[in-house]
């Protein structure tokens, strides 16, 4: 049995009601800072990679591994990190995750070899897998219901949707005017501020009752998710290769075994009730499609900016900002609409609007202008993503038992991570095929690259269009849930 709670530790039942209203918004700022750090890290490092490769003498394989190692550690350990946060304590997990992420970032920032950078990225991913679900769980228990919860998750969703583009700008500034090292070192002062604020502000909360760890489930899901993420990363060089097929097959089998174990054990790592609810299941599916489409849009749009339009990394980052601006402007409006029209309408319209943005972007040409061919599509994409992200974060954690807040939060992040891995593999395969066909027809040219980018945007739009009926038929929640501060949660 677990030891009784210490005097300074509040249980899940009492923690949310003991947080003063003013402190709750300060807590939101701390959680938002942590989320921004994790989101920024993906794109900011991508901008730094060419300079880091030259400086450290890395091979092309090592350069790709810098991204893959982080994704492997982060994606594989997310569910375990979420359950550790539930059992060990969300405040403690938040602080340790933030501190570990900062130390790993510092190690990467002073790396003198490719091996040192790869180790740092692995540790970054591991600590991010503890930090991300702990941060979202803290937010969930701090804002248990009502209008304030909607506003809090609107901020969180805005950062999730727009932080990647901000990372491109910051990465461009740091790489161009300082050095690639600062793309990692910048995390250290940000983490220090978050930790110093978290110590007095956050109240400890953890799952009450029996808290035994599900070791078999932890092993199965960690290895299974790692195998899936790695398999999708290898698919970039060909879906028919033996390693792609092997790792994807092993990943699917291990995840299936994990589900079977979770259905039988008394203390599951991921209680199946978290996933099997129709509303939450629909939210997780939408999250996969949106995560994949967002990654494809940002990655290949950045390529278009730099390779076709001839922009510097900084200019490319700045050119990505209109999408972020659209998210920031739209998110507060969506949070007000959530209690009026409900999440079902918003999460159905959002993918369709975002898909319209990607279809607009698919019309890019070699000689076209940014203002005519890119800007309108970015604005539509930003509005559509805001329509999805604000209700998504609310719905995905709605009705979750307090003791499961950490692992449910991890499941949300895991769906986005898996979606991103699938998107990278699928879009890369489509891009390579279209470019090869175009070159075979008319020879090497910028037009061949643009044809590849256009095909990626169309594929992303198709995925988003599929997400719309998923949301319409599965996301059924009483809209009054988002307007009252107390009361039952009504899931369809």
Q: What pLDDT, in 10s, does the model give residues 175-218?
A: 778 888 998 998 999 999 999 999 988 888 877 766 677 888 88
Among residues 238, 268, 298, the one where a domain terminates is 268
Give the chain's mean pLDDT: 82
| pLDDT exceeds cutoff 90 at 73 | no
**Cβ(195)–Cβ(59) under 8 Å?**
no
Beta partners for residue 10, in sequence order: 205
The token pair at 481 is 């849930």
| Dist. CA 364–CA 304, nearest whole Å | 9
Domain assignment present for residue 436? The answer is yes
Q: Which pLDDT value is given to residue 161?
A: 63
Among residues 203, 229, 244, the one where a domain terminates is 203
Together in a domain, 199 and 227:
no
DSSP code of 305? I
Together in a domain, 198 and 224:
no
Domain assignment present for residue 444? The answer is yes
pLDDT digit string, tens, across residues 305-329: 888 888 887 788 788 889 888 988 8
Nearest alpha carbon to residue 381 among 350, 354, 363, 351: 354
| Dist. CA 66–CA 267, nearest whole Å | 35
Is the whole model's pTM more than 0.85, yes or no? no
| Dist. CA 455–CA 434, nearest whole Å | 7
Together in a domain, 296 and 433:
yes
User: What is the band of 237 on the pLDDT scale with cuts at 50, 70, 90?
Assistant: low
- For residue 447, give its domain range: 273-481
Domain assignment present for residue 353? The answer is yes
Together in a domain, 354 and 239:
no
Together in a domain, 38 and 109:
yes
The CA-CA-CA angle for residues 105, 107, 111, to 5°, reads 115
Q: Which pLDDT value is given to residue 347?
A: 93
The token pair at 29 is 């700022």
pLDDT digit string, tens, across residues 280-304: 888 989 988 888 887 767 778 888 8
Together in a domain, 195 and 310:
no
Together in a domain, 348 and 301:
yes
DSSP code of 474? H
Residue 143: C-alpha distances to residues 60, 153, 179, 268, 398 (Å): 45, 9, 40, 26, 11
Together in a domain, 318 and 345:
yes
| Dist. CA 405–CA 397, nearest whole Å | 8
Among residues 148, 176, 203, the one where a domain terminates is 203
Residue that the structure tokens 């060990």 belong to: 88
246-261 b/e (C-beta count within 10 Å ≥ 16 → b): ebbebbeebbebbbeb
Domain assignment present for residue 10? The answer is no
| Dist. CA 487–CA 336, nearest whole Å | 19
Together in a domain, 136 and 236:
no
Q: Which pLDDT value is given to residue 374?
A: 94
Domain assignment present for residue 491? The answer is no
Residue 325: C-alpha distances to residues 158, 245, 378, 415, 420 (Å): 10, 40, 10, 25, 22
CATH number of the domain residue 387 falls in: 1.20.1250.20
| Dist. CA 29–CA 417, nearest whole Å | 24
The rounded radius of gyration (Å) of the Cα atoms in the chain is: 22
| pLDDT exceeds cutoff 80 at 18 | no
Q: Which helix (H) or strand (E) holds 204?
A: strand 204-206
| pLDDT exceeds cutoff 90 at 42 | no
**Cβ(484)–Cβ(145) under 8 Å?**
yes
Q: Which pLDDT value is given to residue 9?
A: 43
Domain assignment present for residue 358? The answer is yes
Q: What mean pLDDT comes out for the span 382-402?
A: 84
Instruction: Provide the domain count of the chain.
Output: 3
**Residues whose CB falls within 8 Å of the CB of residue 488, separated by 6 or more in sequence, listed in order:** none
| pLDDT exceeds cutoff 70 at 252 | yes
Together in a domain, 368 and 303:
yes
**Cβ(475)–Cβ(283) under 8 Å?**
yes
Position with higher pLDDT, 112 vs 211: 112
Domain assignment present for residue 74? The answer is yes
The token pair at 331 is 């998110």
- Phi, psi (deg, nearest 5) at residue 180: -60, -25
| Dist. CA 153–CA 392, nearest whole Å | 9
Residue 192: C-alpha distances to residues 37, 170, 229, 398, 478 (Å): 11, 19, 31, 31, 41
- Phi, psi (deg, nearest 5) at residue 408: -65, -40
Domain assignment present for residue 342? The answer is yes
**Cβ(174)–Cβ(46) under 8 Å?**
no
Q: Which pLDDT value is given to residue 482?
A: 67
Together in a domain, 351 and 468:
yes
Together in a domain, 338 and 409:
yes
């Amino acid at each position: 049995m677990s030891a009784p709670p210490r005097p300074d530790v509040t249980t899940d039942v009492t923690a949310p009601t003991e947080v003063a209203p003013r402190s709750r918004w300060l807590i939101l700022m701390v959680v938002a800072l942590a989320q921004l750090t994790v989101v920024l890290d993906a794109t900011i490092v991508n901008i730094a990679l060419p300079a880091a490769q030259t400086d450290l003498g890395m091979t092309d394989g090592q350069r790709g591994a810098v991204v893959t190692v982080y994704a492997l550690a982060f994606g594989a350990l997310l569910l375990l990190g979420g359950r550790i946060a539930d059992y060990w304590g969300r405040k403690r997990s938040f602080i340790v995750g933030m501190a570990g992420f900062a130390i790993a970032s510092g190690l990467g920032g002073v790396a003198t070899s490719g091996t040192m950078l790869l180790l740092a990225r692995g540790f970054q991913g591991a600590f991010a897998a503890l930090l991300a679900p702990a941060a979202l769980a803290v937010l969930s228990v701090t804002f248990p219901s009502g209008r304030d919860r909607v506003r809090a998750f609107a901020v969180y969703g805005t950062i999730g949707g727009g932080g990647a583009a901000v990372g491109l700008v910051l990465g461009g500034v740091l790489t161009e005017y300082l050095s690639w090292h600062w793309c990692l070192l910048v995390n250290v002062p940000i983490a220090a501020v978050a930790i110093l604020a978290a110590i007095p502000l956050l109240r400890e909360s953890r799952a009450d009752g029996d808290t035994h760890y599900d070791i078999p489930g932890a092993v199965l899901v960690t290895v299974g998710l790692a195998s899936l993420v790695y398999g999708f990363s290898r698919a970039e060089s060909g879906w028919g290769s033996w390693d792609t097929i092997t790792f994807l097959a092993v990943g699917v089998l291990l995840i299936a075994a994990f589900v079977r174990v979770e259905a039988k054990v008394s203390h599951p790592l991921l209680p199946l009730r978290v996933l099997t609810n129709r509303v939450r299941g629909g939210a997780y599916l939408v999250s996969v499609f949106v995560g994949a489409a967002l990654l494809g849009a940002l990655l290949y749009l950045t390529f278009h900016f730099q390779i076709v339009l001839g922009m510097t990394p900084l200019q490319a980052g700045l050119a990505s900002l209109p999408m972020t601006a659209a998210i920031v402007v739209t998110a507060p409006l969506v949070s007000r609409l959530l209690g009026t029209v409900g999440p079902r309408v918003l999460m159905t319209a959002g993918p369709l609007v975002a898909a319209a943005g990607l279809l607009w972007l698919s019309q890019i040409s070699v000689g076209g202008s940014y203002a005519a061919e890119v800007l309108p599509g970015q604005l539509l994409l930003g509005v559509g993503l805001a329509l999805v992200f604000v209700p998504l974060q609310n719905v995905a954690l709605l009705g979750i038992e307090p003791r499961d807040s950490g692992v449910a939060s991890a499941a949300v992040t895991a769906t986005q991570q898996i979606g991103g891995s699938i998107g990278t593999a699928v879009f890369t395969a489509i891009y390579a095929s279209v470019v090869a066909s175009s070159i075979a027809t008319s020879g090497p040219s910028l037009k061949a690259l643009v044809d590849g980018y256009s095909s990626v945007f169309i594929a992303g739009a198709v995925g988003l269009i599929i997400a719309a009926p998923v949301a319409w038929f599965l996301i059924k929640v009483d809209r009054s849930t988002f307007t009252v501060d107390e009361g039952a949660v009504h899931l369809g």
